[in-house]
Chain A
Amino acid sequence: EAQVTQNPRYLITVTGKKLTVTCSQNMNHEYMSWYRQDPGLGLRQIYYSMNVEVTDKGDVPEGYKVSRKEKRNFPLILESPSPNQTSLYFCASRRFVGEAFFGQGTRLTVV
């Protein structure tokens, strides 16, 4: 089954404690991206990757890091999380110009 898998689904952490949200896809898609979803703001792109070792900033990259060492994986790293990063996060993958497939989401709370 074609899918994008994110983990964890829910995470509560404290300010400053580094965390990683994993994302994996099994469709051999070149393109992967991370979004955050906040009430009233819709979906905003954090980072994207067009292929292995190729990443670039989206609209709201501050406070986040990503890496793309393998085609299937695209982890999101928060080196020092802050409360304003409390949000619902989605990973997505697609071919270069095509529909995106989304993970189930990770609800992050930073206290």
Chain B
Amino acid sequence: GNSVTQMEGPVTLSEEAFLTINCTYTATGYPSLFWYVQYPGEGLQLLLKATKADDKGSNKGFEATYRKETTSFHLEKGSVQVSDSAVYFCALIGGTQGGSEKLVFGKGTKLTVNP
């Protein structure tokens, strides 16, 4: 079935550092890919998405590009802020293995940004 592997944390950075959180997936066909963010004490919210190969999703300074050739969807931000401290989840849905009924998540990566 479909699966998502993302880098384990925790990740600790200083303010204005560059962020990369790796995410790779296993699925046939063309799933839709997502990054969700969970701030402390809150539910998950969609950060960005991409629905086809070479699409770039972007939001709040974060970016991720759907790479079919490497089955990856790495999250990047050029300059993180303390307010970006949260848990980040990579996820996918769809493809052609009959996985459209299930949103598959990675295990999450906790990011802490220090002033």
Contact = CB atoms under 8 A, between A and B. Distances in A.
Interface of A: 4, 31, 33, 40-43, 45, 48, 50, 56, 58, 90, 92, 94, 96-105
Interface in B18-49: 32, 34, 36, 42-46, 49
B98 to A, nearest CB: 12
Contacts of A94: 103
A50 B108 contact: no
Task: Specify the main secondary structure of chain A where it touches its partner.
Answer: strand
A74 to B, nearest CB: 15
B102 A102 contact: no
Given A94-B103, A105-B42, A99 B94 contact: no
B73 interface: no
Interface residues of B, number: 20
Given A43-B89, A96-B100, A97-B93, A102 B105 contact: no
Task: Specify the main secondary structure of chain B where it touches its partner.
Answer: strand
Interface of B: 32, 34, 36, 42-46, 49, 89, 93-94, 100-103, 105-108
B107 A99 contact: no
A97 B43 contact: no
Nearest to A99: B46
